[in-house]
Structures are given as C-alpha cells and as structure tokens.
Structure 1
Amino acid sequence: MPSSHTPAPRCQWFSILAGALDRRSGRRLALLFLGVLLARGRQARSCWIRAAGLSSQYRRCYPTAAAVGRRAEAIATRLLVEVLRPLVTGPRVVLALDDTPTARYGSQVQGAGVHHNPTPGPAGSGFVYGHVWVVLGLLVAHPLGGVVALPLLARRYIRKANLGAVRAADRPPFATKLTMAVGLVRWAHGWLALWGKAVWVVADGAYAQGPVLKPLRKLGVTVVSRLRRDAALCSVPPARVPGRPGRPRVYGTERVSLAKRAAHPGGWSTGMFTVYGKSVEKRYKTFVATWRPAGGAIRVVLVDEPHGWVAFFGTDTTATVADILERVADRFTLETCFRDLKQVAGAGQQQVRGVPSNVGCFHLCAWAHTLTEVWAWNQNAEALVGHRSASPWDDPNRRPSHADKRRAWQHKLLAQEIQAVVGEHHDHAKIRDLAHRCLDLAA
C-alpha cells in the first residue's frame, strides 16, 4: 500500500527521531518509519520501501538503513528524552536488561554465528544460527493496568570467532554481553540522571555477575536479579571500632548458605504482592548479606514456591521485599516484548548482510514497537479492539494486544492519508464510510 503523504498528527515523532541523521537521509527515514508500520506480511526491507512510497528511491533507502545502525545511539537518545519522558512517573526509573536471538540464513551474513536458543519449542534446536541482541528496555506502568516494556537501544553481540567475517570498515571491537550491558546502562544513566530520579535495573540472572554489578554500583544504579542457589554469600561485617586503624571491612567472615537458610523452618513470613498483574500471597525470608560479585551488601529474598525455593536480590539494602519481587516479575514484560518484536514487528526478517544494516533494521522494528505503544497509551481500549466484533469467538474483554494497537494505528495513519488526498470538497460522510470499509478490508 504505497503512501505519498507524511501524516502530521502524531507522526511528528518520526521527524524527531529522523533529526539525528542529515537532512536528506532524515526525510527518507521519517517516511521509512511509516513504511515499517504500514507494511503487511513478511517484514522485508523492500516491503517497508513499497509501503512508504519510496520505490523510486529504493537505492538510497539501503544506505539510510545502514546510517540508522551507525547513529542508533543518537536516535535512541531523542526517543528517550523527547518522546518517552512524559510516561515516566514516580520516584524511580526502572530499566530491563536481557538478550534475545534472531534467526538468519546464509553464509554471507556478516557476524552471524551459532548461539544458544533460549526458546527452542517442542521441535526446535537448542542452538540457532543468526544474531544475538542485548536489549535495554524502559519499564512503565500502563494506565489500563500492568507494566509495559519499551525497547530503547540494543547492542549486537558477535562471537570472537565470527568477527573475522565482518568487513574491516564495519568490524566492531570484541565485547562480551556483560560489557555491552554495562555500556547500555551507562548511556541511559547519563540522561536519566538529569531527571533527578533513582535508576533501577532488573536483569536476567545471567547478568548478575561482577563485571555488571560492580560498575553499576559505582554509578549509583540499583540492580535487581535472580541469585544463584550456590552463591558464596558472607555475613555483614560488624561495626568498626572507633580509632582502629585501617579501612573498614566490606565482607563478613562467616559464610551464609542459602540452602540452609531455606531449609530452616523458622523465619518465614507471608505477604501479598502484585506479580504478573495479579495479587498473590508469597511465603518468603529476607536478610542482608555481603557478596563479592556485587561489591558489597545486598538484600536477599528467598521465596517458597511449589517447585522449591528461589532466591532474588537487590543491591539496595533498604529495598523492600515488594520492590524486589515485583520488579523481577515486571522483567517478564521484556520477554513478551521480544515475542511481539519477532511475530508482529518482524525483527530478524530483513534479508540484509552488513553489520550496520542489520543493526539499523533491528532498531527500526524496536522503535516502531515503542512508538506504537506510546501512540496507544491514552487511546480508548474499546476502540483498539473494535475489530473483534467481527470475530464472535474472540474474547471481547481481553486486554488489547500489541497487534491490536498496531492495527488501530495503521487505520489512523491510512485514514489521515485518505483525508489528505480527497480534500475538503466532497461528501465527508460517504468518504468516511468508504475509508472505514477499505481499512477493514486492508488490515
């Protein structure tokens, strides 16, 4: 569905993000964002170009996507500061950190390799050939209830063995996922510190290691994550004797065994917590210990689950049990975001080879996901799911999905273009009815 008009309402976001590129590439990028949202079926880059009405400039669109990959951090800064700032309320900003793979095919894809597949499925393999993305997302509470993850910025992880296949001009220095994670948080913290809010990061247990925890503690960032069952915890050191020479102790001398603490029948408490959108009762223990990978004291929370006990921690010892357990549950929304990125936005379906092009296409999908959620933020829920009336087998009370929000925004964008094309010298009622019919058939 080619488009020749850039809608003005709401689409000023496209121009804001495109302002990070030079003027000529920026104009194409603004239209390319429109194509990403309007494209149907397989989300190949050529489909974006056709949907944006840029077929006559298709050769120039390819370097534009590569320019997005090279300037991803500058564009993400505009997204965070100028678009998402009004959504952040409360005393703290919560970020989520995790990685996800996207499958690719072909030996000419630069930097692609064999990676662990966290979601193989019933017939899937434990490994996948393609890319791995370390993603930083912003967690915000939605007015309709629940927490939503909005992807901000990602880093592409390339195994050291695969760096040689990357063209020298585009070859990045090798960095581990942990190093990339710290870099992403440093970037966000540099801007979030200006807002005067505390910064919390909830991460997958794989990132609960010294190379991540110690640098973030120095930044003043609180990290919440899962704790290994065999974590080598120590007691809290006693208060320093006044006048005693030397530095105060950071770690205690006694070892703390999580297994023994969990097996002891005493010390358990019960409380109500909001996890995964529901209020549930949890049986827990909490205490403060010291842990060398964290660089000091941490708040530990043991939870008695039906399948056994699990341990979580926060690097802020004043954090409550609710703060830790609810943030851990909120991190799952980033996993849901990854699913929507691949199934709805089509991340990883673009058949591109170069490193900048791959990075640019992934970020275009991620930012389209974020902008869709922002557009639907204050929309009426009934309007977002109005198309379900044609499907009586569907649950009308089900919360609007990301696909519903994307569909509604597509209708809005197309309706604005139709209105711009037909002008004001026609029967608006008939044009509106015709537009709704065309929109229903098209989407």
Structure 2
Amino acid sequence: MPDTIITILSAFAPLMSSATWLKATTLIKGALLCRGPRPITSLLRVLGLSNEPRFEKYHRVLNRDKWSCVLCAKILLGLLIALLPSGFPVIVLVDETLERRKGKQIKAKGYYRDAVRSTQKKVVKCLGLKWICMTLVVPLPWNKRPWALPFLTVLAPSKQANEKQGRSHRTTVDWTITMVKLVTRWLKRSWILVGDGAYACIELGHRCRKLNVTLISRLRLDACLYEFPEPTPKGKRGRKRVKGKRICSFKDLAQDASQHWIEADVKWYGGQLLRIRYLTGVHLWYKAGEKPLPIRWVVVINPNQPDRTDVFFSTDTNLLVTDIIRCFVLRWNIEVTFEEVREHLGVETQRQWSDKAIGRTTPVLMGLYSLACVIAKEMRQSTLLQPALTSWYDKKDQATFSDVIAFIRRTIWAEKYFSNSSMSDDFIKLTPNDADTLINQLAMAA
C-alpha cells in the first residue's frame, strides 16, 4: 500500500500482535478495493489470494484474535479531532441504525422498526441488529456540506435476546449514557451531543450536564415544561417546591399570534438559507420520578410549511438559538453516512456468525468510512481529488464518498502495478499474474 495509508494505519498497530496486524492490514486493503458484498472471501479474492491455503487465519482476526474495538475507537477519534479547523466546536451526532440480519446463530437480533421502509402511515418491522453509532461532524475540503464520520459503534441486543441470555436489558438511552462517559473521558473537554427525539430524555440530559456535555434534541409538542419555583418564604416548613406553574403547550404557543415572534435567517436542510420565525425560553422540563431539568427550548415555524411546528431544546441555557437550530440541522448528515456505508462499504453484506465477529465487523466497516476520509485528505496534499463528472449529473465540483473511495482505490492500484514502470517507455509492462488480476476485477460483477 502507499506510504500515506500505512502511516495512518500504523496508529492502530500497538493494539495487536505483529501477526494479527499483518492480517488486519490485508483485510483493510481488501475492504477498500472490494466492490459489492464484503465477506472475507471477497476481500481475499480482490487481492489475488484466492489460492491462499490458510484462508481461515484471516477469519480469526474478527472471531478470535485479541484486540479492542473500544481502543480503536479512541484512536480513530483522535485522528478525526485533528481534522477539525481551529475554533470549530466538537459536535457529535448519535443515532441508531438497523442491520437486517437473520439466522439462528445471531443471538442479539430482534424485531425493530425499519426506518427506510416505513412511512408515516405504515410501520414496517424487520428482523436484525440494532447499532448505536456516534459520529463526529467534520468539514472536509472537497464538499461544502460537513460530513458525519463514525468513530464509535455499539451493538444493542434486543430485550428478548437479553432475557434468553439471563442479562438485564439496557435501553438505547442506557447505552448512550455509557458512550457519553467514554467520549468525555477521551476528549477531556466540553462537547455537543445531538440526537433525534429518541434521545430527548431527562435522565440523559442530567448525565450530560454533569459531564459538561451539551445535549441538543427535539421535544414533543406535549412535553411538560414548568416555571422555576418561587423562593421559599423564610420559616416555612415542609418540602420545598421543585417546580412552578406549568406553561402552555407548544401547540398552543405556535398558534398564538400575540406572542413575540422573532425572525432570523438560519442554514436549513440542504444548505439553503431560510428565514424562520421562532419563540424561545428557559424553563424546567419535568417528569414524575425525575429531577427537573433546566433547558432552553425553541419553537420554530418554517414559512414554507406553516402547518408544521418544530421544537428543539438544549441543556445549555446560554446557547444561542441560531446555534441550537444549526446543530440540530447537522444531524441529517448521519443519515447520509448510514446510506453510504451500505452502498460503498458493504454493511449488511458480511456473513460472520460468531458473537465476537458480529460485534466487530460492523464497527470496523463504520470506522473504515472515517479512515477513508482521513486517508483521502492526506493524499489530497500531493494528488488531485477530481470528482467524477457527467453530463447528466453536475456535482458542482463537490466530491462525494464514491469519489473518495475511487480516489483511494486508484492510488492503491497504481502503487501496486505501475510504480516500477519506466517514465520514458512507450508501454507499461505487467506480469501475466498482474494483468490477470486486473482483468478479473473488471470482469467480476460488483
């Protein structure tokens, strides 16, 4: 492989033995070059190792060899933090994604709502594995849209699977709290966590405030918000009040024209500049059995969709309204990442069956998405990253992940087959084996 790729991958070398490291780099190279499904056999075939007699040793990297996905995530986060421009905030997006898998040997599977196939009127449930993924928002030089680069992916077994194994069930929020603790320990600085309505939880909000993390999410229209309690008169006995009077619902606020609505220009979905109207305030979010959580809420009305009301909140009550909206709008980038790892890195096509291999393969493929961006940014310093342009698809000089992975593949193929060719010859000499390998890659179905 090119020296640039080897230098970046060498950051993970201390986590493995030398033998495991050689096999792991081989699989990474195969995963970058492979098209279509990503079973281990396809990775070996693309590297010309179809006749490898000890092919099972490459399977052991995932199902037997000793190395830690968590420590790899820590190192990967360090590589991604280095890509952030000076002064750019650390924004982490969190969301869950479904890997459609079935089979008796897959123990952690369960039935979940398939967000891709479901609509507002019809809910489609699918058998598979639920992964909770954290991604770092990073602006990259080849695209105006900041990308969501995965660094930590955790398998959340279903409730039925935990009961069968005799383990206590952990919800999505429980796993997220553990991940927040890990990331805070790694970063040792304040950062912003952005999630959809599934992460609008008072318990998660309290944990984030305790760890100096700002939680930004979406609120329901019927959320119970209260005024702050009035000071207790001196000498009054009894339990102190934890909340004041309840404020009216967000649905009523959105229909109240007498409110002091404020207009502002914000960067909306799709990168367009949109003029919105909003209301904001600081109140206590309360639920029975939970300690009240102070939040800044924002009611947003889009003039293009006047019947729709969006409500966002932040646990940092001093955060600007425009920053809250901007951070939540960035959350959509994680959905783009989920689509691209399926399309270009073969997530859901691997066929491992052991528990350890299942728990490692998807996080590795997610992390490979981020590694590819780190590699491409480093290569771009010496080689031009040219987006693939066609007459029917004008990318406006903005590269997509398909361009990034093609850029890396081209560099690897050139290093492997053409690095020793003379610059003055009229033709390039290839060995029969190399020519056969290249022709097979062109001939095989993706």
What band does the TM-score fall into relative to the shorter chain?
0.7 to 0.9
2:38 to 34, 40, 43: 43
Seen in structure 2, the aligned counterparts of structure 1 residues 245 and 53 have a Cα distance that, compared at 3 Å, is farther
Aligned residues: 424
Residues 6-34 of structure 1: CA distance to partner in whole angstroms, max 9, x if unpaired? 33223322222243222221221122111
* TM-aligned CA distance change 1:431 to 1:236, over 3 Å: farther
Q: What is aligned with 1:62?
A: 59
Query: Residue type of the partner of 1:290?
Result: L
Residue 129 of structure 2 is aligned to residue 131 of structure 1: yes
Pairing partner for 1:186 from 167, 181, 188: 181
Aligned residue runs from structure 1 range 91-130, under 5 A: 92-120=89-117, 126-130=124-128
**2:82 paired residue among 82, 85, 109:** 85
Counterpart contact for 1:67–1:360, Cα < 8 Å: no
Residue aligning to 2:297: 300
**AA partner of residue 187 (structure 2):** L
- 1:374 deviates by 2.1
Matches within 5 A, 1:21-420: 21-52=16-47, 56=52, 57-66=54-63, 71-82=68-79, 84-87=81-84, 89-90=86-87, 92-120=89-117, 126-143=124-141, 144-163=143-162, 174-193=169-188, 196=189, 198-238=190-230, 251-265=243-257, 266-276=259-269, 277-292=271-286, 295-305=292-302, 306=305, 307-377=307-377, 379=380, 383-388=384-389, 391-397=390-396, 399-420=398-419
Q: State the 1:411 CA deviation.
A: 0.4
Q: Indicate how the Cα distance of structure 1 residues 63 and 257 shifts in structure 2: closer, same or farther if over 3 A, else same.
A: same
The 3 A distance-change label for structure 1 pair 102 and 70 is farther
Aligned to 1:3: none
Question: 1:325 deviation in Å?
Answer: 0.5
Are the structure 2 counterparts of residues 240 and 47 from structure 1 closer, same or farther at C-alpha, using a change threshold of 3 Å? farther
1:98 is paired with a residue of what secondary structure?
A: strand
Shift, 1:271, TM fit: 0.3
Paired AA for residue 151 in structure 2: L
Deviation at 1:270, TM superposition (A): 0.5
CA separation of 1:15 and 1:310: change in aligned 2, threshold 3 A: same
| More displaced stretch, 236-245 vs 356-365 | 236-245
Secondary structure of residue in 2 paired with 1:271 = strand
* In structure 2, distance between residues paired with 1:403 and 1:385: 11
| 69-78 vs 119-128, greater mean Cα deviation | 119-128
Deviation at 1:329, TM superposition (A): 0.6
Question: What amino acid maps onto 2:103 in structure 1?
Answer: G
Please tell me the residue identity of whatever aligns with 1:236: F
Which moved further from structure 2: 320-329 or 302-311? 302-311
After superposition, the C-alpha distances for 1:279-328 in whole angstroms (9 at most, x for unaligned) are 11111111111113684211110011313211110000001111111111
C-alpha change, 1:282 and 1:162, in structure 2 (3 Å) is: same
The alpha-carbon deviation at position 136 of structure 1 amounts to 0.7
State whether residues 227 and 313 of structure 1, in contact with CA within 8 Å, keep that contact through their aligned partners in structure 2. Answer: yes
8 A contact 2:118–2:124 mirrored in 1: no
Q: Deviations over 1:151-191 (max 9, x none)?
A: 0111111112124667xxxx976321111111111111111
Residues 101 and 117 in structure 1, CA contact (< 8 A), matched pair in contact too: yes
Alpha-carbon separation, structure 1, partners of 2:234 and 2:65? 58
The answer to whether the Cα contact below 8 Å between 2:135 and 2:149 also exists between their aligned partners in 1 is yes
Distance 1:189 1:393 in 2: 46
Instruction: Give the AA of the match of 1:259.
Output: K
Q: Residue 223 and residue 160 in structure 1: after superposition, are their counterparts in 2 closer, same or farther (change >3 A)?
A: same
Aligned-residue Cα RMSD (Å) equals 3.3
Offset of residue 50 of structure 1:
2.7
| 8 Å contact kept, 2:92–2:134 | yes
CA distance in 2, matches of 1:240, 1:50: 74
Q: CA deviation at 1:236?
A: 2.6
**Contact 2:151–2:367 (8 Å) recurs in 1:** yes
Which piece of structure 1 moves more, 103-112 or 356-365? Answer: 103-112
Q: Distance in 1 between matches of 2:49 and 2:15?
A: 20
Separation in structure 2 between the aligned mates of residue 397 and residue 302 of structure 1, nearest angstrom: 34
Cα deviations by residue, 1:210-252 (Å, 9 ceiling, x for unpaired): 3322212211110000001110101133467799999986533
Amino acid at match of 2:320: T
Question: Which secondary structure does the structure 1 equivalent of 2:260 belong to?
Answer: coil
- TM-score relative to the length of structure 2: 0.85
**Quick check: 1:251–1:291 contact (8 Å CA) kept in 2?**
no
| Offset at residue 398 of structure 1 (A) | 5.8
Report the CA distance between 1:38 and its aligned residue: 0.6
The 3 A distance-change label for structure 1 pair 246 and 137 is: farther
Structure holding more helix per residue: 1
Residue 278 of structure 1: how far off its partner (Å): 1.9
- 2: distance between equivalents of 1:111 and 1:353? 11
Q: CA deviation at 1:138?
A: 0.6
Alignment check: 8 A CA contact 1:13 1:83 kept: no
